[in-house]
């Protein structure tokens, strides 16, 4: 490999995710560091995302991700970076520069100057990478500390001292609540969204919320999961919060403030405002799980994506004494990433691509990704010999089925049985519990 090419690759390695995303004209959200969008290669909605603070990108549809701009460019453009051509092409994209011509001859002087530059660049890259790793670790540790602070400030849900709202919420959504001390309730938990004039985080709302820890192996608290509650908002009993979108801002609309009337339905449909999620997490989630009831020492574990479904199922089977009930937080953390080659076309669903041509929606496959990290999916204790997985019946069926099959394969061990339980079609366990309880 010529020096010119080596320098070219080193230069490309120094390009940050943010710089590359700008060159590639990827979409940036108006605020924040996480920028979800359809994958330029796999399509879908919000399948692809990059994070400018953590220097990471990820494609849920392709089951792939990484922490460098070259890899991101290669995935978006369908290049194979294991091949020399693919790698150079990806470098050329992130640098917005042509691949240097290897045939050109150069003077000794030029050569010496370039070697020096190459060496400097290499050292700078090493230093930058070390700084980035430090600041990432710092950021993660700060977030974990904040999460532990939120958990500590909340009161155990079942205790009489806790705001009764938490119990009422689970009563409404799941027909009862667990007699366990994992779940907590905060009387006034801040909901951060957007930025104030000085660029600091903005508290859009503050109110009662169920606070659950995310625990890793060894029961270490690695993060927390927050569900804001508003008993005046059936059927989900969660507050209605809205945010101005980039499109809305471009149209000259003003931010939505809590206390304002909800945006007009037509503005929501046009994507000028968006309804904001009323569940959030702080700290780390990956590899952890949310305990709901029982003790992780149990040999039978029962859980799915959300706290509500796990609770509803626990209520339904009478909180078995031999079982531990949990939630994974989301489907990705329940099932882990897919092996890219197991990706398949959805048998029915189609979506127009960038050129308006209808193409089948691609679904992450049932085979777990090879060589994945231990924390790519929730942990399951080695002693568990029955793992009951609860499927979400109101999510897209094919995608959910593939993910549940992947979860079963991922968590499979000799002598462990893993039944997958489906609610009635079109339902989740929470809604079934509510209708049974009425």
Residues that bind Zn ion (CB under 5 A): 39, 41-42, 59, 61-62
**Tokens representing 341?**
């080659």
d(CA 61, CA 125): 31
Closer to Zn ion by Cβ: residue 26 or 170: 26
Three-class DSSP labels, 26-88:
CCCCCCCCEEEEEECCCEEEEEEEEECCCCEEEECCCCEEECCHHHHHHHHHCCCCCCHHHHH
d(CA 190, CA 131): 31
Question: Residue 243: exposed, middle, or buried by beta-carbon count in 10 A (0-12, 13-18, 19+)?
Answer: middle
Closer to Zn ion by Cβ: residue 63 or 208: 63
d(CA 61, CA 111): 44
Closer to Zn ion by Cβ: residue 303 or 340: 340
The CB-of-335 to Zn ion minimum distance in angstroms stands at 17
Question: Residue 316: exposed, middle, or buried by beta-carbon count in 10 A (0-12, 13-18, 19+)?
Answer: middle
The CB-of-72 to Zn ion minimum distance in angstroms stands at 10
The CB-of-90 to Zn ion minimum distance in angstroms stands at 14
Closer to Zn ion by Cβ: residue 10 or 68: 68
Closer to Zn ion by Cβ: residue 264 or 345: 345
Residues 326 and 290: beta-carbon distance below 8 Å: yes
Closer to Zn ion by Cβ: residue 49 or 311: 49
Rg (CA), the chain: 24
The CB-of-248 to Zn ion minimum distance in angstroms stands at 27
Closer to Zn ion by Cβ: residue 70 or 418: 70
The CB-of-377 to Zn ion minimum distance in angstroms stands at 19
d(CA 141, CA 274): 31
The CB-of-59 to Zn ion minimum distance in angstroms stands at 3
Closer to Zn ion by Cβ: residue 38 or 243: 38
Report which secondary-structure segment, H or E, holds 212. Answer: strand 201-215
The CB-of-349 to Zn ion minimum distance in angstroms stands at 16
The CB-of-75 to Zn ion minimum distance in angstroms stands at 6
List beta partners, residue 206: 190
Question: Residue 179: exposed, middle, or buried by beta-carbon count in 10 A (0-12, 13-18, 19+)?
Answer: exposed
């Amino acid at each position: 490999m010529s020096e010119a090419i080596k320098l070219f690759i080193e230069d490309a390695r120094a390009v940050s995710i943010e710089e590359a995303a700008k060159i590639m004209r990827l979409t940036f959200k108006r605020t924040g560091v996480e920028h979800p969008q359809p994958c330029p290669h796999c399509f879908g909605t919000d399948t692809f995302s990059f994070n400018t603070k953590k220097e990471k990108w990820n494609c849920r549809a392709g089951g792939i991700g990484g922490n460098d701009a070259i890899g991101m460019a290669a995935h978006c453009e369908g290049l194979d970076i294991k091949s020399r051509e693919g790698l150079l092409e990806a470098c050329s994209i992130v640098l917005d520069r042509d691949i240097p011509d290897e045939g050109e001859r150069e003077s000794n002087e030029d050569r010496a100057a370039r070697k020096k530059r190459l060496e400097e660049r290499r050292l700078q890259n090493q230093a930058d990478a070390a700084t980035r790793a430090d600041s990432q670790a710092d950021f993660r540790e700060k977030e974990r500390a904040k999460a532990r602070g939120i958990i500590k400030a909340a009161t155990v849900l079942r205790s009489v001292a806790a705001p009764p709202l938490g119990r009422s919420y689970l009563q409404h959504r799941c027909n009862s609540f667990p007699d366990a001390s994992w779940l907590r309730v905060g009387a006034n938990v801040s909901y951060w969204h957007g930025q104030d004039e000085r660029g600091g985080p903005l508290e859009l709302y503050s109110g009662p919320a169920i606070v659950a820890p995310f625990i890793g192996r060894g029961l270490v608290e690695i993060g927390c999961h927050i569900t804001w509650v508003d008993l005046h908002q059936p059927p989900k009993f969660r507050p209605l919060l809205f945010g101005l979108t980039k499109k809305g801002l471009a149209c000259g609309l003003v931010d939505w403030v809590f206390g304002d009337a909800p945006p007009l339905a037509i503005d929501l449909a046009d994507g000028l405002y968006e309804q904001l999620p009323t569940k959030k997490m702080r700290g780390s989630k990956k590899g952890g799980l949310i305990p709901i009831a029982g003790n992780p020492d149990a040999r039978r574990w029962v859980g799915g994506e959300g706290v509500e479904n796990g609770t509803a199922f626990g209520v339904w089977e009478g909180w078995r004494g031999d079982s531990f009930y949990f939630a994974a937080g989301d489907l990705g953390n329940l099932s882990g990433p897919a092996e890219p080659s197991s990706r398949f076309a959805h048998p029915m669903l189609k979506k127009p691509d960038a050129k308006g041509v209808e193409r089948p929606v691609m679904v992450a496959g049932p085979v777990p990704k090879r060589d994945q990290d231990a924390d790519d999916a929730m942990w399951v204790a080695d002693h568990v010999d029955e793992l009951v997985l609860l499927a979400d019946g109101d999510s897209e069926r094919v995608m959910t089925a593939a993910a549940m099959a992947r979860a079963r394969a991922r968590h499979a061990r000799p002598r462990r049985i893993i039944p997958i339980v489906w609610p009635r079609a079109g339902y989740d366990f929470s809604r079934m519990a509510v209708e049974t309880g009425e």
